[in-house]
Amino acid sequence: MTARPFAGLRVVLVAAFNRRYHRSGLSLAAALESLGCEVTRCEERERGWNAILRRRLAGRVAARLRRRPADLVLVFKGARLAPEHVRALKGQFAARWANWFPDDPHQIEVSLRLGPAYDAFFTHDSASVERHRSGGARAHYLAFGYDPEYLRPLPGDARWASPLAFVGSRDPVREEALRGLADLGLAVWGPGWPRGPVYGDDFVRVLAGAAVGLNVHQQFGARGDPRRYGTGANMRVFELAAVGTPQLSDAKADIARHFTPDREIVLYKTVAELRERARALFADEHLRRSLAVAARERAAREHTWRHRLEELLTVTLR
């Protein structure tokens, strides 16, 4: 039987519960439940009747806490929950509060404003931790993870197959980095690109159908802003490993904490190096297979959302 180290812990989870997008909220809820937590969900977004009736987030969190007391309120990002509202709610209800902010350092101004209101604040960007602590937050580093029920190898499908696949939102910096890679067989999906976004199992099929999965973090390259590039590994690092696709990623510093370069992942520092390493991967099927197997084994062993939530709860409740 799987251990449930936090059996009976009552958690209100504030997040976006969206089956079409990257499913983070749903995956976090499932991971908490697998640890034995009793989870009450609170939708972060103001949509449907909440938008029509103007039910603001702070009020909805309060209503859930009145109906059922909690030991912990866990907020995933929570930009709509003002620090003064968090402090007021902490004064009314006996629960600890934690924030896991997924957008450092791209939205560092937002996270610096939110962090001090919480009993524990988590960022996936290690370079941001000291800045948060200097600003009064009880800050900790916590990497992203993945949902093994969702991110898994899928059978091949010619519709989604490509030599080199990138999935991510379009912006001028990324566009510049990807310019001129068509000769490598690059196929691009995501908001703003001609092919458009992919969701659900189609998203997984795109990742799984690539001979090589390309990862380009926001603000990478000559046109990027170094202040907003940071060190944190994005979700794609863990997602590509989970589906068993060899990954070629820009060399964010925190990646090496979680995957061994040249054994579980291949890294590049420039677009020229990206091209060179992509060609080397295309030419070596054995290397591609060994990278994929090693990364998938490491991900399953260390990098699921359950692993991350167990660490978060241990730190927050100690």
- Tell me 169's DSSP state: -
Distances (CA, A) of 233 to 98, 209, 236: 21, 22, 8
> Is pLDDT of 65 > 80?
yes
> Is pLDDT of 145 > 60?
yes
Fold of 10-145+304-317: Rossmann fold (3.40.50)
| Beta-strand runs (E) in 124-274 | 139-141, 162-167, 186-189, 210-215, 247-250, 266-268
Sheet holding 120-123, edge to edge: 38-43, 10-15, 72-76, 96-101, 120-123, 139-141
Q: What is the pTM of this model?
A: 0.95
Among 212, 194, 226, 232, smallest CA distance to 274 is for: 212
- Tell me 158's DSSP state: G
Q: In angstroms, how far is CA 170 from the centroid of its own chain?
A: 17
* Bridge pairing between strands 96-101 and 120-123: parallel
Mean pLDDT over residues 117-136, rounded? 98
CA pair distance 106, 227, nearest whole angstrom: 8
User: Which pLDDT does position 47 carry in this prediction?
Assistant: 73
In this prediction, residue 239 has a pLDDT band, given cuts at 50, 70 and 90, of very high
Fold of 158-302: Rossmann fold (3.40.50)
Domain locations along the chain: 10-145+304-317, 158-302
Mean pLDDT over residues 6-33, rounded? 92
Q: Dump pLDDT digits (tens) for 274-283.
A: 999 999 999 9
Mean pLDDT over residues 254-279, rounded? 98
CB 142 within 8 A of CB 312: yes
> Is pLDDT of 115 > 70?
yes
In this prediction, residue 59 has a pLDDT band, given cuts at 50, 70 and 90, of very high
User: Which pLDDT does position 157 carry in this prediction?
Assistant: 86
Mean pLDDT over residues 286-302, rounded? 98
Mean pLDDT over residues 187-198, rounded? 96
